[in-house]
Amino acid sequence: MPHGAFDYLREFPDEATLPPEFAAVDVPVALCFGLLRPYKGIDVLLEAWRGIEGAELWIVGAPRMDLAPLRAAAPPGVRFVPRFVVDPEVAAYFRRAALVVLPHTRVDQSGAAFAALGFAKPLLLTDVGGFPDLAATGAAVLVPPSDSAALHAELTRLLADPDALARMAAAAAAAAAGPYSWDAIARRTLEIYDQL
């Protein structure tokens, strides 16, 4: 049974806007969103970001680890938002993202991935847990976990290819409206109960 897309995040009447320093950014944005924990692969992502120009990486979420080493290792073009982002603020970050990147070293599922589906955003994920299921929809590209070179190569390729991002975004929208919609999940749940 799949987890549903978090499409409700698009519908807050009091949706917040980006802080001015973020709203002023005029280059593509790769967004890494969620609680900041060691298994999220942020250190790998920062290494992979080295040498990427003409784009920004936003790492957004409440820290559950010491960020000082990560901040010290961050190359140019990286911004941190090290705090919990409440629901009415979430949309502004996802709407601005050209790509959502979640380089987890291990995972079962990820709320940030299902938020990205809800906003029809392309995903760059690691080949762990349930992420291959998302990639099978065409909404995501997979790289091996902890492989900064492979992650760098895909970041570079995707950020330079708006057509590929548009195709992935369309696949994300279709997945959110189809197998990852709450209606479809409810139907499948009821079918299981009927069978039992």
The per-residue pLDDT for range 139-170, each reduced to its tens digit, is 999 999 999 999 999 999 999 999 999 999 99
What is the arithmetic mean of pLDDT over 176-188?
Answer: 95
The band of 16, judged by pLDDT with boundaries at 50, 70 and 90, is: very high
Rg (CA), the chain: 17
Mean predicted lDDT score pLDDT of the chain: 96
Res 13: pLDDT: 86
pTM (global) more than 0.75: yes
60-112 pLDDT, tens digit each: 999 999 999 999 999 999 999 999 999 999 999 999 999 999 999 999 999 99
Residue 130 in this model has a pLDDT that exceeds 90: yes
Query: Angle at Cα 118 formed by Cα 133 and Cα 166, nearest 5°?
Result: 80
Q: In degrees, to the nearest 5, what angle opens at C-alpha 57 toward C-alphas 56 and 62?
A: 140
6 and 187 in contact (C-beta within 8 Å)? no
Query: Could you write out the DSSP letters of every residue in 56-79?
Result: EEEEES-BSS--HHHHHH--TTEE
